């Protein structure tokens, strides 16, 4: 919850809800992709999440915030490498979305 709050982007009431929902949403998306179910809608959710993550990290960088990104654990401060990682994940989600359209189950 503190990692989300450190970005200073959303009101306190929404922070708690986000901290509860976001990890579960990411987990459900991962399971659906592993099971090869609802790939296009899941990829679309992941595209949206990565865009939001990239916007939040960019905002923190622009404002000079020295904070942990909330990604993974340990030494994961906001920085250009986090943007690169999210860009790669965004590209993968877009690729999944496009490939699923051309190769349905």
Better pLDDT: 4 or 105:
4
Dist CA 62 CA 85 (whole Å): 18
pLDDT of 84 reads 93
Answer yes or no: is pLDDT of 17 > 70.
yes
pLDDT of 55 reads 95
Q: Are 74 and 31 in contact (CB under 8 A)?
A: no
Helix (H) or strand (E) holding 55: helix 39-62
pLDDT of 18 reads 93
Question: pLDDT tens digit string along 22-76?
Answer: 999 999 999 999 999 999 999 999 999 999 999 999 999 999 998 887 776 556 7
Q: Are 8 and 65 in contact (CB under 8 A)?
A: yes
């Amino acid at each position: 919850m503190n990692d989300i709050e450190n970005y200073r982007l959303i009101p306190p009431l929404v922070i708690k809800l986000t901290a509860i929902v976001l990890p579960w949403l990411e987990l459900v998306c991962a399971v659906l992709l592993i099971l090869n179910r609802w790939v296009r809608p899941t990829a679309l959710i992941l595209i949206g999440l990565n865009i939001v993550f990239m916007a939040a990290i960019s905002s923190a960088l622009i404002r000079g915030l020295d904070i942990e990104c909330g990604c993974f654990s340990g030494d994961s401060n906001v920085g250009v490498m986090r943007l690169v990682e999210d860009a790669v994940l965004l590209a993968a989600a877009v690729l999944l979305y496009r490939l699923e359209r051309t190769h349905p189950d």
